[in-house]
Amino acid sequence: MRPSELSGAEFIARFGGVYEASPWVAEAIWPLAKSGVLDSPEPLGREMRTVVDGASVEMRLALIRAHPQLASRARMADASVKEQAGAGLDQCSPEQFEAFQRLNAAYDARFGFPFIIAVKGLSRAEILAAFEARLANEPEAEFEGAIVQIHRIAAFRIADIFEDRAAV
């Protein structure tokens, strides 16, 4: 099934979670998607990135804030649960869990939004090291860096959706 073969509701159901809790991104590209030009991962992802990058600062900040904290026990989207589990964040030692909680609090206090990193392919140690290093960044750099990481997460999610569809 290609995206262009889906109804609008089916398209939003399938691609609305690519950008965490932000179905407005998929909604914005639906008119183009139904034409068939977004029937593969690369153009679909590119068009979604364009929508996000063209959004207001307030909308991008809301998108950043829609992401869960790392190694959190809070309820999160299924995709986030899967991604964090893939990086072993659901298996932290008590010391690692405490480090994540401490860093989450410090990062949120400094920047006003959660630390965002595409965890796929990273170890807990690599994630913690990036977390510590990025705390020293300027707020503007972290805002832009969060958007870059969100785009990476979205690309992984799009690839997963297309792979899952191919397996059917």
Cβ atoms of 159 and 41 within 8 Å: the answer is yes
Backbone torsion region of residue 25, taken as left when φ is above 0, otherwise alpha when ψ lies between -120 and 50, otherwise beta: alpha
Q: What is the CA radius of gyration of the chain?
A: 17
Among residues 129, 116, 134, 139, the alpha carbon closest in space to that of 68 is found at 116
Q: Which residue has the tokens 């690692």?
A: 96
Helix (H, G, I), strand (E, B) or coil at 93: coil
Whether residue 67 lies in the annotated active site: yes
Give me the catalytic one of 60, 67, 124, 157: 67
Residues 144 and 134 sit within 8 Å (Cβ to Cβ): no
> Which distant-in-sequence residues (6+ apart) come within 8 Å of 119 by Cβ?
70, 83, 84, 86, 87, 89, 127
Residues assigned a catalytic role: 67
